[in-house]
Amino acid sequence: MPSPQRKRKVTPFTTLLNFVPYKKPLNYVHSDLKQSTKSSTKSGSNQPTYRQILSDHNYSLIKSLGSGSYSKVKLAQNSNKTSLKVAVKIVNLSKAPGDFLKRFLPRELEIWPKIEHQNIIRFFDSFEDSGYVYMILEYASNGDMLTYIQKYGPIPEIQSRGIANQICQATKYLHDQNITHRDLKLENLLLDQSNSVKITDFSFAKFNSKHDLSRTYCGSKSYASPEILTGEPYDPHKADVWAIGAIMYIICTGKMPFNENRGLKKILEEQRNLVFPWFRFQLSESFQKLICCIFTYNYIKRPSIEVILENEWLKEKNSSLQSLPDNDKDL
């Protein structure tokens, strides 16, 4: 006779916003998802597997997409008639740092479901089960932009313009909702089956009015504005704009705009002087001017996303992204 199945606590999204954080030191660790096959979850005999939990919610687990120190991303498929493939972000509440549980995870769960834009990954559902938070997300089958650039190199300017427009339009949408992303980078730009760009990962996102300054220094050093690197209170809207400048530079050149391996003083000097080796790249003068405009050292004088979208370079002819090669074939 089979043993009775243990009842599990399943918490809906609305309750998740009020859960008591796991007590851990507040030394915040960024949850960048990296490819890994190592499993760090210890499961007892009564601990349900990811596959069992997803099955209870009508999803069939297909494979792992990536993992970090306290989160994983799985590919799953809806068991109903639509057979929709989704990405499932799974956060281990017992391993995540206390500051993440207290501040960042609740914000992500509050903000992401409210967002609806064609160039932002859709948030379908979330629930807590057996000490893990599950987020059901839109699946972008062609992977992330960083992997794409590493595989194929820089993208021609006419197609880069289309990518930049999509990123800027999505960012304007966020800023219009008083939402700042605060971690825009190539790894957080996904490509769907038609190579449309989708912003993902709202771990650091926050509601900010146009005049609110932020004092949480998050994101990645390679995309960080001078005021973040120097630890000053900063305008997160303008920090998002700076990060977009770094993204555009990398997409068009295949290189980082600033050498993050140098000391802080040298990086700030590079950011202030803006001496780029344009002679190595066949890029238009209008693109070069736009990049230097975005990389305005003083964030007060740095253009807003609305001003960037009115720039002549972004208004020039662009090519369909569908002509780009696939980063990864869909299953």
Q: Are 197 and 147 in contact, with CB atoms under 8 Å apart?
A: no
Question: Tell me, what CATH number does 128's domain have?
Answer: 3.30.200.20
- 233 with 294, same domain: the answer is yes
For 152, the domain range is 145-323
Structural domain ending residue among the three candidates 116, 138, 160: 138
Alpha carbons 167 and 118: distance in angstroms, whole number: 11
Domain count, the chain: 2
183 a catalytic residue: yes
Q: What pLDDT is stored for residue 207 in this prediction?
A: 95
Q: What pLDDT is stored for residue 6 in this prediction?
A: 45
Alpha carbons 75 and 63: distance in angstroms, whole number: 5
- 222 with 121, same domain: the answer is no
Give DSSP secondary structure letters for 21-79. PP-----------B----------TTPPPHHHHHHHTTEEEEEEEEE-SSEEEEEEEES
For residue 326, give the amino acid letter. Answer: D
- 235 with 290, same domain: the answer is yes
Q: Which residue out of 144, 183, 235, 240 is catalytically annotated?
A: 183
Instruction: Give the pLDDT confidence of 110-149 residue by residue, as tens digits.
Output: 999 999 999 999 999 999 999 999 999 999 999 999 999 9
Extract the residue ranges of the chain whose pLDDT is less than 70: 1-45, 319-323, 325-331
89 is an annotated ligand-binding site residue = yes
Alpha carbons 144 and 159: distance in angstroms, whole number: 16
Q: Are 86 and 136 in contact, with CB atoms under 8 Å apart?
A: yes
